[in-house]
Amino acid sequence: MPETPTSARKSNLAPLLDGRRRVVIESVFPEVDGGRFAIKRVVGETVRVEADVFSDGHEVLHCMLLHRRQGDRAWLETPMEELGNDRYTATFVVGEQGVYEYTLTAWIEPYATWARGLGRKVEVGQDVSLDLVAGADLVAAAAERATGVDAGALSTLANRLRSEEPIAVPVELALSEETASLVGTYPDREHATSYERELRVVVDRERARFSNWYELFPRSAAEEPGRHGTFADVERRLPYVAQLGFDVLYLPPIHPVGRTMRKGRNNALVPEPEDVGSPWAIGAEEGGHTAIHPDLGTLEDFRRLVAAAERRGIEVALDLAFQCSPDHPWVSEHPEWFKHRPDGSVQYAENPPKRYEDIYPFDFESEAWWELWQALLGIVRYWIEQGVRIFRVDNPHTKPFAFWEWLIGEVKREFEEVIFLSEAFTRPKVMARLAKLGFTQSYTYFAWRNTKHELIEYFNELARGRQREFFRPNVWPNTPDILTEYVQHGGRPAFVTRLVLAATLAASYGIYGPAFELCENRPREPGSEEYLDSEKYQLRHWDLARPDSLSELVARINAIRRENRALQSDWSLVFHHTDNEQLLAYSKSDERSNVVLCVVNLDPYHRQSGFVDVSLAHLGIGEGPFQVQDLLGGGSFLWQGPRNYVELDPGVLPAHVFAVRQRVRSERDFDYFS
Amino acid sequence: MPETPTSARKSNLAPLLDGRRRVVIESVFPEVDGGRFAIKRVVGETVRVEADVFSDGHEVLHCMLLHRRQGDRAWLETPMEELGNDRYTATFVVGEQGVYEYTLTAWIEPYATWARGLGRKVEVGQDVSLDLVAGADLVAAAAERATGVDAGALSTLANRLRSEEPIAVPVELALSEETASLVGTYPDREHATSYERELRVVVDRERARFSNWYELFPRSAAEEPGRHGTFADVERRLPYVAQLGFDVLYLPPIHPVGRTMRKGRNNALVPEPEDVGSPWAIGAEEGGHTAIHPDLGTLEDFRRLVAAAERRGIEVALDLAFQCSPDHPWVSEHPEWFKHRPDGSVQYAENPPKRYEDIYPFDFESEAWWELWQALLGIVRYWIEQGVRIFRVDNPHTKPFAFWEWLIGEVKREFEEVIFLSEAFTRPKVMARLAKLGFTQSYTYFAWRNTKHELIEYFNELARGRQREFFRPNVWPNTPDILTEYVQHGGRPAFVTRLVLAATLAASYGIYGPAFELCENRPREPGSEEYLDSEKYQLRHWDLARPDSLSELVARINAIRRENRALQSDWSLVFHHTDNEQLLAYSKSDERSNVVLCVVNLDPYHRQSGFVDVSLAHLGIGEGPFQVQDLLGGGSFLWQGPRNYVELDPGVLPAHVFAVRQRVRSERDFDYFS
């Protein structure tokens, strides 16, 4: 870099270092909050970067996208392509887990600018003899920068441009693609502009993007009614979970449950002696967040469960609920981590006038916040040591953002493969911030998006909005806290509809079972989203063999998800027009090799029919008929053109999940399908 | 600020300084490129700032907008109001020219959070005696921070909350507005979050926003044909310019014109001996950019012109055309500031295959770039010393962006009142960058936006797009370089239409006269935007007294602009629906006290009529009839409701410029107007 005059350095223009740096780089995308946060990808995905790049004048520019793994010194460079309107683009692939960095650099190409001018002058018959000498000088300068064979080739080239041959010869040489390429290989980057920021990509493993979650309460997993379930019971449940096609088994907190202020069945304030309390009231004399509820088994049992699940391709996910029951050992060991009331008692959780007296929140404003942070990180580290790599984080929005950013950063620096799911059902900006600061996946508003308009608006935002760069949705039709009116009233057909929507609209989804597949939909009271006899406060016994169970349908939809890469990512989602407000149509595709088109009847009560107007371009369909094969209900149809008739009966099956294929056109096809 | 543990500082989280800083501030608006560039305002205007502000949990927050003049130490604080969805807003007024800074800070209000909870608990009849003690502690802490009388008042308050009075008494006290306000006056800001950036506002004088430009060639200002005009002639022209209502008189370059490679009439390559050449071929043996063309007069004459103009409320604006004729003294004095061709000659301007051999551009990639920059700044300083405060900058997009940012910054640091108009008719991002980096006003694409759709789209972008924060449009229906097809073919009615559009759509506009008011529209050749016998290459003599001159109309429209503040700013523009593709309707308002509604017939050939559907809310009109008074054509109409009939004949007057007033409703009004 040439020296900058002192007075320039002292002048008003801080960003100025070199007055000859003429190229400007701005409006880089993706870039989250001016580079404050990273974007997210999974291994093997592509990052497509765009930027506005221009200089004064009418010069030919060369723009490079730079990327590297964090920690590497050398950048890998990719030339960027011009899109028009001064916009450039290039892509890079993130091949490994961890953090990548990317930035841009651009410079003026005097030779290319010169050659373009030469071409135009030659076209109109101007004398270019002097131009050729100027071009030769540029080539000679490139020769100075070149090494090896190319240095010689460029010197020769420079001499030939200066030669006395008939002018058409050097002109042709100057304008040839080989010359452009050879000279362009040795650019003068002394005054190149580097984009002022290095942006980051957090690269996760594929499960961060495509995951199938099943939540169950281990204590309800006993085969015989009334007995407290154990890890061994859960282990015996694994074949069932595997058969259903899930790859993440999420367990609510497995720790000792507090006794003080324990909640009874249906959230009763005064429990019966046999009541088991809420697993989220963590900690008792047996231990806290690193202890295991004695009735569930031992650490050994837990590790065996994790290993057994792994053999079936299932990962066990734990709940990180950073709060304590009044009996948690830390309440007495670390009173400084809790707020105290004027009478000396510890402040329980409250959202006035609601009180949660079985829960003590941590005081993140404690003078001892740093020790608290480390202790909480210690909990995560402990379970990672036991083989856990996925955490569902309970109510992250009630702990400081800075804490999560630090904790997730610390964990992922050491264990890149760890996945954190944010359970924040709260205001949109808070949810977005949690995703930005590092949560791998986020719960969504899906459960409350039921109409066609709501679903289209919300999933367009999730799949196309700018926040998709960091917010990975994980959609759940039900959870232990969420029993929506839609399934309360719509019953079994509503469960089926919500299952199909979740499993085909989103690459990551989950159900809370066996409540879901057994269509559990009795609310604690009218207007409540709480279950009657909720497992949160009592043991339940589920009859998995019930003939009306949705287990086979769940298994089928998960098999479809496994077999169709189109359903394993979110961004390709496109909605198609239908002429019926109860019919929702959409498709997803995997670079066109796999295209899935869904049509869902949103009305759980009535048969609905209508015409679907598909965008053939989005389906990758050209002229002529194409086959849609119903992967869910079976049957194939030969469709022709964009407009086709559909009829769906919620009593039978409220959805088509079509694989779309352009057929080789032949009369036989018509015979066969029509 | 409390100490940060070293290990936290060393951790992955650079922005983390204090784990107890729980509030987050993001998505601040306005903010240009992450604070890299300033927004713009004029003296007396308001800056409305918005931001997303939230913390974890459900705390009550307090957000402050901070602003100050650059150089002041103390910030002025304005509490921000919540808009919903975690968005906050506040405004501040920029009272003086120069640079202002603004930023934000926010903190959690434990007392307000506590009081809200108290209220809810009291509502459902919970025991709050312990809560009151906790509240008293918060008040006592505020007392510690308070000074003077308030400290005592807060101590007393704390004691009363702890008192043994019937509980309703301290509860009422705790929940009173006075208490909230008193406690809120002494917040604990130890863990307040400050927004990480200080943003800037460049505050210009009012003319930066509202200006009326008139361009004329001094050498064509002689009263008798054939004589080279002088500054004295221009001085004699001032009453005319003032009568037309202009307040900026822009003169093309006034410097000696080069002789080498001088262009002849109509851009002929070989001039006649008497040809005067292009004023943009700056520099001859008489001098360069600080010299005056001897035929125009002396520096003394120029200063007298500037002073005479000032007495009439007119500012003289000069052209900054940073380029040289081959005869410019710098060509020999500073050969290092120019590019040289292989034969040793200086490289003339070219855009192959076009050549401009009468022009030598500066070489901004010169090793001596810093000296060149200083010399160019010296030119600006020189003319400022002669009393010039407005510069129209010729082709800024052919000089480096960094150069302009530096030059404008240097000038405005010393002379806040200087206005720079960017004459960059080029790609949108280049124009935006020039505005961002500091140009006060910018030429636009207005001349080429002629259809209803084009005008609505473009002016919505200018008046509502995010770039309005830094891009101040100055619209010209013609310039010496721009004679559009629309006026070539549409003749006088087209000139009128374009005049009205420019003067009412934009707060700053200009015309190149007397060509404009005399409807000069003969192109050099078919398809060209160049004038036949262009003043760029020859003297012209204009008959200002021609009966078909638009001078009276120009005077009237400029008087309307002066008298209607609605037309003096850009952001209030709203388009209204019409049922005729040739009728464009729009309004502007000045905080409702002044509302102007325009309806323009875009068809210069035919009478057009139709219904205008005005948005009454935007006009500030309630129920009942309202008066529209045509400020341009005269006449008043009583309109009722949104839908009203309009008919415009281009042969008479193609536009209504209505002042809109809600009438006091009375029968007499109806009688009078109908």
Mean pLDDT of A389-412: 97
Is there a contact between B370 and A19 if contact means CB atoms under 8 Å apart? yes
Instruction: Dump pLDDT digits (tens) for A44-79.
Output: 999 999 999 999 999 999 999 999 999 999 999 999
Residues B375 and B233 in one domain: yes
Tell me how far apart the alpha carbons of residues A183 and A143 are, in angstroms, rounded to a whole number. 8
Is there a contact between A36 and B15 if contact means CB atoms under 8 Å apart? yes
CA distance B52 to chain A (A): 8
**How many helices (H) and strands (E) would you count in chain B?**
17, 30
Residues B395 and B315 in one domain: yes
Nearest by Cα to A392 from A344, A320, A463: A320
What CATH number does residue A164 fall under?
1.20.58.80
Residues A331 and A386 in one domain: no
Which of 1-20 (B) contact A at CB < 8 A? Answer: 5, 7-8, 11-13, 15-16, 19-20
Nearest by Cα to A231 from A320, A315, A314, A293: A293
Domain annotation covers residue B561: no
Is there a contact between A22 and B364 if contact means CB atoms under 8 Å apart? yes
Which of 405-434 (A) contact B at CB < 8 A? Answer: 405-406, 409-410, 413, 427-430, 433
B250: three-class secondary structure by DSSP: strand
Contacts 24+ apart (CB under 8 A), A522-530: A522/A488, A523/A483, A523/A488, A524/A266, A524/A267, A528/A483, A529/A481, A529/A482, A529/A483, A529/A484, A529/A485, A530/A267, A530/A481, A530/A483
Tell me how far apart the alpha carbons of residues B303 and B309 are, in angstroms, rounded to a whole number. 10
Residues A404 and A515 in one domain: yes
Domain of A271? 259-288+324-361
Q: How many CA atoms lie within 13 A of A672 on its CB side?
A: 13
Is there a contact between B433 and A126 if contact means CB atoms under 8 Å apart? no
Q: Please return the burial class of A27, using the count of CB atoms within 10 Å of its CB with bins 0-12, 13-18 and 19+.
A: middle
From the CB of residue A69, how many other CB atoms can be counted at a distance below 10 Å? 17
Tell me how far apart the alpha carbons of residues A96 and A203 are, in angstroms, rounded to a whole number. 7
Domain annotation covers residue B550: no
Contacts of B33 in chain A (CB under 8 A): 26
Lowest pLDDT segment from A15-24, A537-546, B255-264: A15-24
Residues A90 and A119 in one domain: no
Is there a contact between B121 and A24 if contact means CB atoms under 8 Å apart? no
From the CB of residue A448, how many other CB atoms can be counted at a distance below 10 Å? 14
Residue A383 has pLDDT above 80, yes or no: yes
Residues B271 and B402 in one domain: no
Residues B247 and B272 in one domain: no
Residue A12 has pLDDT above 70, yes or no: no
Domain annotation covers residue A388: yes
From the CB of residue A311, how many other CB atoms can be counted at a distance below 10 Å? 9
Mutate to test the interface with A, among B6, B56, B139, B430 (most CBs of A within 10 A): B56
What CATH number does residue B62 fall under?
2.60.40.10
Domain annotation covers residue B559: no
Instruction: Dump pLDDT digits (tens) for B448-477.
Output: 999 999 999 999 999 999 999 999 999 999
Name which of A5, A11, A118 is nearest B410 (Cβ-Cβ). A11
Nearest by Cα to B596 from B473, B506, B492, B496: B506
CA distance B452 to chain A (A): 24
Q: Residue B14: its pLDDT value, please?
A: 41
Domain annotation covers residue A558: no
- Parallel/antiparallel/unpaired status of strands B248-251 and B315-320: parallel
Mutate to test the interface with A, among B7, B13, B194 (most CBs of A within 10 A): B13
Residues A319 and A242 in one domain: yes
**Buried/exposed code over A624-649 (b: 16+ C-beta within 10 A; e: otherwise):** ebbbbebbbeeeebbbeebebebebe
Q: Is A116 on the interface with B (CB under 8 A)?
A: yes
Structural domain count of chain B: 5
Domain annotation covers residue B549: no
Q: ipTM score of the complex? A: 0.93
Instruction: Dump pLDDT digits (tens) for B102-144.
Output: 999 999 999 999 999 999 999 999 999 999 999 999 999 999 9
B385 is catalytic: no
Residues B387 and B489 in one domain: yes
Instruction: Dump pLDDT digits (tens) for B618-650.
Output: 998 988 899 999 999 999 999 999 999 999 999
**Contact by Cβ (8 Å): A373, B19:** yes
**Contact by Cβ (8 Å): A76, A94:** no
Tell me how far apart the alpha carbons of residues A30 and A38 are, in angstroms, rounded to a whole number. 9
Nearest by Cα to A462 from A569, A561, A570: A570
Instruction: Dump pLDDT digits (tens) for A507-529.
Output: 999 999 999 999 999 999 999 99
Is there a contact between A406 and B36 if contact means CB atoms under 8 Å apart? no
Domain annotation covers residue A554: no
Domain annotation covers residue B453: yes
Instruction: Dump pLDDT digits (tens) for B167-201.
Output: 999 999 999 999 999 999 999 999 999 999 999 99
Residues B66 and B118 in one domain: no
Search chain B and give the residue with CA nearest A9.
B406
Contacts of A55 in chain B (CB under 8 A): 400-401
Which of 42-81 (B) contact A at CB < 8 A? Answer: 52, 54-58
Tell me how far apart the alpha carbons of residues A600 and A606 are, in angstroms, rounded to a whole number. 12
Cα dihedral B556, B559, B561, B565 in deg (nearest 10)? -140
Cα dihedral A520, A522, A524, A528 in deg (nearest 10)? 100
Residues A441 and A572 in one domain: no
Catalytic annotation, residues of A: 394, 423
Confidence band of B7 (pLDDT split at 50, 70, 90):
very low
Count Cβ–Cβ pairs < 8 Å, chain A vs chain B: 178
- Parallel/antiparallel/unpaired status of strands A625-630 and A655-662: antiparallel
Tell me how far apart the alpha carbons of residues A363 and A319 are, in angstroms, rounded to a whole number. 20
More confident residue, A621 or B329: B329
Residues B216 and B250 in one domain: yes
